[in-house]
Structure 1
Amino acid sequence: MLAESIIRIGRPIKDGGMPCREKIRLLTDVSSENCKNFFRHVFLIELAGGDSCLQQLELGDMALENNKETFTVDSQRNVTFPIFYPNGGNPLHAQGIYPLPCYLLYDPHLKALGEKEQFKKEFLSPRLNNTLQYRDMTLSEKELLADQVAVLLAAQATEFISEDKQLGILMIYDARLNVFQEKQDWMGEDETLMWINESRLQPGRQLYLDGEEVLQCINQAKFYEAAELGSEKNAVSTFSNQPAAEVVSIYNKAWLWLSPTWDMPRSIYWQDDEWTKGIKVDAESYAAYFYGVQFLKEIQVPVASAVLKEMFAPVTSVEAKKNMKATSFESIYGIPLVLPLTDGGSQQLFANYRRMLKKDSEKQSNSDLHLKVLAGIDRVVPEIGDEHRLTILYYSGDLSRGNMHIRAVIEDIVPSVAGKIEQILHDLKVSETGKIQLAFGVAEQAVYKTQTLPALLANAFGPGYVWETLQAALHKEPLRLERLRLTTARRLNELANKEDTWQMVQELIFYYSFLYFLHQYEQKILQKQGGVMILSDWDEFKALYSQGRLDLCHLASVEQLGFTAGLLLRQFHNSYYQKTGKDFVKQRVMKFGSKLTPAMIWKNGLLRCEELAQQWNMKLGANFRPVLAQALLGFLAKQDQLVPEKDSFMTAFWSGYLLYKADKKNDKTEEDGGNDNEQQ
């Protein structure tokens, strides 16, 4: 269950040694980019006894960035004003339970400050009624408080309202509340006391926020929010399996993967406030859950648009993929979850989580896992042993709108397996791809679709198989080649009809790059030997061909037969072109741009070679006729397999055709023993 994993992640963060200030920053939206401009206009209302006063603060400075003025928030002081950015719903209305009287002000709210009754009715009263600290206050007491604040703001509204769009924060420093403390002397800022400002009612005295009290209020407020969709007294918690005085639903406004406006996660037999019939959460587990979801929001990373294009663009049509833009795809976010197999060692786990919160995505050691390579998300998982498991969550949608859809959850990834796969991809990128490019006679360059595992698998199997194959690879399951050969054969056929040889070579470079990955994957992950022929495996085969020593025993598979046919037709084409100036395959084999098949290669191509060689008095290499004879016997022996295995045959055929190079040492003509004049 995903919720249980989130609780297990949140518990060491909640109980670990994270300073109070950092916890508040994690649990609130004070550091959100969406909220920075709210800190330009902070209204601090101080209430003590029957006295009141108003201060306006600006927590930050304007700075010039890229020739544009932008507001930079004071990262020390913003934590003192714990705010929550609305997720879904109308942000102008009161939402959820406020842990303390600290509220966001939108432009319509600020423009209404001068209208005392309107501001009180539409802004103050709804929020005071939903504030945890005022739950036990009578209605008349809350009305009196609202009047006092509204009058104070209206009296000075003209001083700070402008025609420009404005955002702000309203904090009511109510001396009666435990979250606020007043000190005679400057106390500095320790782990729990956070300085708000100097008192205006009592100059020289300092106003502080009690961080520990704030954290308790935040947890309690979120617990009460969850109770809106269901609560029960004296029930057994789903997660602790222990009786609790009160349990609530799993609903959380900060993580709307279970939204009250979405009917799918709950039974049609539940009422709107009966979600505890599905999951019951006790207070401690819910607090850990809230820490967990806030942590996951911090470490979530959007999958790069270039990776999304490789993952979800059509792969059977080269032209369709070429015309897809990287911006054509809905954003997908990836979140890594690291979980221990057993409870315990929470401090070490907490230390790893803190490292994951850092924005630096560079690996610190060879044992770190770089998820950009493995999962397409730019996060580094610090070194963890196989006593842990990694889960990767992918979702799309907008959390701020309550529109979140889980795309895939890949659970129980063994770190050592992930590390081996990352090393295989690294070796492919650093050394093997260059060798493959050299074999096809092209300059060495980066191949983007082989540099990340999701892109590699998507280009091999197609977008419909991305999550399935990604999960299979990370779970040490076999990967089948049929789909790869199908997509490669279709792309090669499309490009052959367009005579786009360069792009055909690029497709085969990817094909053999994937085969290298699969070969290494089977050897190092599955402990399986053989089964996949990589490009270097064809070197001896090509050498035997050049010497004319390929026999029927070397043509044991349709793939080997197709590769040989490709070598033969390319060698024959070179001589044919010298005599006629025409492309043999295009003119004689692929009639009218039709889809090339094994039967056409056999009957329109290889069977015509001897006839045309005699007709044009062609000088062929001494190796050609002996290999041609063996290949024709091979076609007779395997004619029943040509249709079922046509994709394997055609991919191998184009490989041999485009890899062929005349061997000056061995390709002697039969007539005079000299080098043939085949076009290279």
Structure 2
Amino acid sequence: MLAESIIRIGRPIKNSDMPCREKIRLLTDVSSENCKNFFRHVFLIEIAGKETGFQLIEMGNKTVGEKKETFKVDEKRNVSFPVFYPNGGNALHAQGIYPLPCYLMYDPHIKALKDKEAFKKEFLLSRLGKTLFYRDKTAKERAALADRIAELLASREAGLVREEKQLGVMMIFDQDLPMFHKHKERTDNAHSLWIAESPLTPGAHLHLDGEEVLKGISRAKFDEAAELGREEKAISTLTNRQADEVVSIYNKSWLWLSPTWEAPRSIYWQEDQWTKGIKVDEESYTAYLYGVQFLKEIQVPIASAILKEMFAPITNVEAKNMMSIDSFEAIYGIPLVLPLLDGDSRQSFAKYRKLLKKSSEKQRDGDLQLKVLVGIDRIVPEMEDDHRLTLLYYSGDLSRGNMHIRAVIEDVIPSVAGRVEKLVNRLNTGETARIQEALGMKEQPVYRAQSLPALLANAYGPGYVWESLRGVLHKEPLRLERLYRATARKLNEAANKEERGQMLQELVFHYSFLYFFKHYHEQIIGIEKGVKSLADWDEFKTLYGQGKLEPGHLGEAEQLGFAAGLLLKQFANSYYQKTGKDFIKQRVMKFGSKLTPEMVWKNGLLRCEELAQQWSMNLGSNFRPVLAQTLLGFLAKEQELIREKDIFMTAFWSGYLLYKKNDEDSISADQDKAEAEGKDGGEEHEKR
């Protein structure tokens, strides 16, 4: 259950020795980019008995750039003004429960200072009535306090209200509230946060008690959740123990479990009966708050380039190339690290803090680079297999509660993830370059193979991304049918358009994936799959060049396809030298049709000897012995070739493009030039 995992993450953070300042920053929105400009105008009201003081503070510095003015918040001081940015709804109205009298002010609120009755009614009274410690006061007492503040600000409005748009923060420093203290000396430590010098008592300083603020936040959020359901002396769902009070975990303020999502709600529940779903005690709910906020801190959007590789169509090369990297909805990834058994909270907290580092920071041996592994730009610190990794992907706007969870991949064993990551790295740091060299291409990055999600998506298609990623991380076997189908289709498409460079790029990816597939099964799962990576064809090509391929070498559709590709390329070179024409295009494919095993056999191989005699071709000594064995193989495997046409065609084009001419089978300088231009085109395509 996601809620349980979040609570297990939040508990060690809640119980840690993290300074109050950092916990307040984590639980509130003081560091949110949405709140930055509110700190331009901080309205500090001091209430001491019958006296009321005021000062306006600018909590940061303005900087003027080439195009516009920007405001940089004082990140040390702003935590002394704990504010919460509204999640949906009308931001001008009071929302939720406020743990202390510290509120965001929008432009209409500031403009309303001129009319003290309107400001009192629309801003002050609605918020005071939803603030801890003031909720218990009588309506008359709250009205009296609102009158004092509204009258004071109305008398100063001439210096406060301007024509341009203004945003602000109001704090009511009330000495009767437990989180506020006035001292003769200024202190600013882990528990006592300096606010400002007192506007009523020159030389005295106002401070915020961090521990009391944290208690207030916990209680306020617990009371918010109670609006959807509250029970006394009931069993907490996640601890299975009786608590004095439990509330619904579904709430409007922490939108990971939002009541705006109707799926968890029974039609028989009343609006205040959400405890019939999941109910938790206050301690668990507070841990849930810490967990949710921590996940918001470590979540990162998957890079647009990776999203394109994951979700662009794979069977149509042109369609994929035409799609922009910003054509895809943003998807966010969050890694959750959980111990199998709840143990040392301090140790767990240390691991969580390391998760806040991005992959651009130095990675130690044993750390997991999640960008390569699962597309999330975070580093998971080294851990033993007594932990499990959970990966959460969602799209949508978290602040509006319209999240759509794309995938949750649970119970990933760290050692398995580490071995998969190393395999992907080996593929990209060595094998892809060797594949490109074998195909006569210039070494360059293969973007489709640079991360595991991109690798799997390009092999299986966008609809299989999450399923295949989950399978690899759980050591499940993979299949190759969709890879061969997609590769064969794209090779035929590129061949019809005479895009040799694109064909080479498709083979680079194809053999990159086969390398991953083969070593994944052998080294991580521990099973042999009998898959031929590109290096496995070297001996086959050597035997071909010597004319020593025997029936035992041609017993499978893939072997027949590769041999046929070598034969037709060797023959096509001689044919071009005699006629100046492309044998495959003129004689085999015919009118842009899609090449099939039958066409290779009957339009290609069976015509070779006839045309060789007709044009007096000087074919290599290896050609006729291999041609004879290959034709016999076609007769023996005719039905199998129909079932495995995609495997055959992929192998055919591989042999065709991998063939290397020898001294007695030279082609014209014009064709060499054409092939070189094709390679350059392929390199430019991959760069795009």
Task: Calculate the TM-score normalised by the size of structure 2.
Answer: 0.96
Counterpart contact for 1:25–1:31, Cα < 8 Å: yes
For residues 642-666 of structure 1, give each alpha carbon's deviation from its aligned partner in whole angstroms, at most 9, with x where no partner exists.
12111111111111111111234xx
1:259 positional shift: 2.3
- Amino acid in structure 1 at the alignment position of 2:48: A
Query: Residue 212 of structure 1: CA displacement?
Result: 0.1
Query: In the TM superposition, what are the counterparts of 1:104-503 in structure 2 within 5 Å?
Result: 104-186=104-186, 188-359=187-358, 361-503=360-502
Report deviation, 1:269: 2.0
Give the secondary structure class of the aligned counterpart of 2:620: coil
Q: Secondary structure at the match of 2:616?
A: coil
Structure 2 distance, partners of 1:279, 1:378, is 32
Q: Which residue of structure 1 aligns with residue 524 of structure 2?
A: 525
Residues 182 and 206 in structure 1, CA contact (< 8 A), matched pair in contact too: yes
Cα distance in 2 for partners of 1:254, 1:532 equals: 53
- Cα RMSD (Å) of the superposition? 1.2
How far 1:109 moved relative to its partner?
A: 1.2
Letter in 2 for 1:362: E
User: What secondary structure sits across from 2:228 in the alignment?
Assistant: coil
For 2:86, the aligned partner's letter is P
Gap change, CA 1:300 and 1:317, over 3 Å in 2: same
Cα distance in 1 for residues equivalent to 2:54 and 2:131: 20
Separation (CA, whole Å) in 2 of partners of 1:182 and 1:112: 30
Partner of 1:667: none
- 1:320 Cα deviation from its structure 2 partner: 0.7
User: How many Å separate the matches in 2 of 1:413 and 1:676?
Assistant: 54
Worse overlay, 172-181 or 142-151: 142-151
Using the TM superposition, give the Cα deviation of residue 108 of structure 1 relative to its aligned residue in structure 2, in angstroms.
1.4
1:676 corresponds in structure 2 to 665
- Matches of residues 658-677 of structure 1 in structure 2 within 5 Å? 658-664=657-663, 675-677=664-666
2:600 partner amino acid: I
Deviation at 1:541, TM superposition (A): 0.5
CA distance in 1, matches of 2:359, 2:444: 27
Q: Which residue in the other structure is 2:589 paired with?
A: 590
156-165 or 267-276, which deviates more = 267-276
2:76 maps to a residue whose letter is: Q
Q: Distance in 1 between matches of 2:492 and 2:553?
A: 26
What SS does the aligned partner of 1:62 have?
Answer: strand
For 2:486, the aligned partner's letter is T
Q: Give the match's secondary structure for 1:271.
A: coil
Q: CA deviation at 1:360?
A: 6.2
Amino acid at match of 2:145: L
Q: Which residue identity lines up with residue 418 of structure 1 in the other structure?
A: A
Q: Measure, in 1, the Cα distance between the counterparts of 2:623 and 2:66.
A: 66
Q: Deviations over 1:554-603 (max 9, x none)?
A: 01211111111111111111011111111111111111101111111111
Cα distance, 1:214 vs structure 2: 0.1
Q: Is the 8 A contact 2:358 2:379 kept in 1?
A: no
Q: Does 1:86 align with 2:86?
A: yes
Summarize deviations over 1:360-418 as a string: whole Å, max 9, x none. 64243111111110111111111111110000100000011221110000101111111
Matched residue SS, 1:649 = helix
For residues 575 and 254 of structure 2, the distance between their equivalents in structure 1, rounded to whole angstroms, comes to 68
Mapped to 2, the partners of 1:315 and 1:495 lie a distance apart of 13
2:608 is matched with 609
**Cα distance between partner residues in 1 of 2:197 and 2:665:** 95
State the distance in 2 between where 1:27 and 1:598 align: 64
Give SS of 1:328's match: coil
Does the 8 A contact of 1:120 with 1:150 survive in 2? yes
- Displacement of 1:263 in angstroms is 1.3
CA distance in 2, matches of 1:323, 1:465: 22
The whole-number CA distance in structure 1 between the counterparts of 2:366 and 2:666 is: 55
Render the CA deviation track for 1:613-665: whole Å, top value 9, x for unaligned: 1111111111111111111111111111112111111111111111111234x
Partner of 1:628: 627
Q: 1:118 deviation in Å?
A: 1.3
Task: Give the equivalent residue in structure 2 for 1:561.
Answer: 560
Q: Distance in 2 between matches of 1:283 and 1:205?
A: 37
Q: Distance in 2 between matches of 1:318 and 1:465?
A: 18
Q: How many residues align?
A: 669
Counterpart of 1:43? 43
| TM-score (structure 1 length as normaliser) | 0.97
1:489-544 CA deviation, whole Å, 9 max, x = no partner? 11111111111110110010001011111111112211123421110000000000
1:72 aligns with 2:72: yes
Rounded to whole Å, the distance in 2 between the matches of 1:358 and 1:525 is 28
Q: Percent identity?
A: 68
**Alpha-carbon distance in structure 2 between the residues aligned to 1:45 and 1:609:** 95
Distance in 1 between the 2:254 and 2:391 partners? 17
Return the letter of the residue paired with 2:665: D
Give the drift of 1:200.
Answer: 1.4
Equivalent position SS for 2:124: helix
| CA deviation vs aligned residue, 1:242-279 (integer Å, no higher than 9, x gap) | 00111111124453133222212222222222111110
Q: Which runs of 5+ in 2 are unaligned?
A: 673-688
The 8 Å contact of residues 225 and 251 in structure 2, kept in 1 or not, is answered as: yes
> Residue 132 of structure 1 aligns to a residue in which SS?
coil
Supply the distance in 2 between the matched residues of 1:529 and 1:264 (Cα, whole angstroms): 44
Please say if residues 416 and 473 of structure 2, whose CA atoms lie closer than 8 Å, have aligned partners that are also in contact. yes
Q: Post-superposition shift, 1:191?
A: 1.5
Asked if the contact 2:256/2:292 (under 8 Å) is kept, the reply is: no
Task: Identify which range, 146-155 or 472-481, moves more after superposition.
Answer: 146-155
SS in 2 for 1:37: helix
**Cross-structure match for 1:102:** 102
Deviation at 1:139, TM superposition (A): 1.2
Given that 2:228 and 2:251 are in contact with CA atoms closer than 8 Å, whether structure 1 keeps it comes out as no
Q: C-alpha deviations, 1:7-56, integer Å up to 9, x for none?
A: 00000000011111100000001111111111110000001101101110
Q: Which amino acid aligns with 1:617?
A: S
Q: What secondary structure is seen at the aligned counterpart in 2 of 1:217?
A: helix
Stretches of structure 1 that go unaligned for 5 or more consecutive residues are 665-674
The answer (yes or no) to whether the contact 2:359–2:369 under 8 Å persists in 1 is: no
* Conservation of the 8 A alpha-carbon contact between 1:476 and 1:525: yes
Change over 3 Å in CA distance of 1:255–1:624 after alignment to 2 = farther
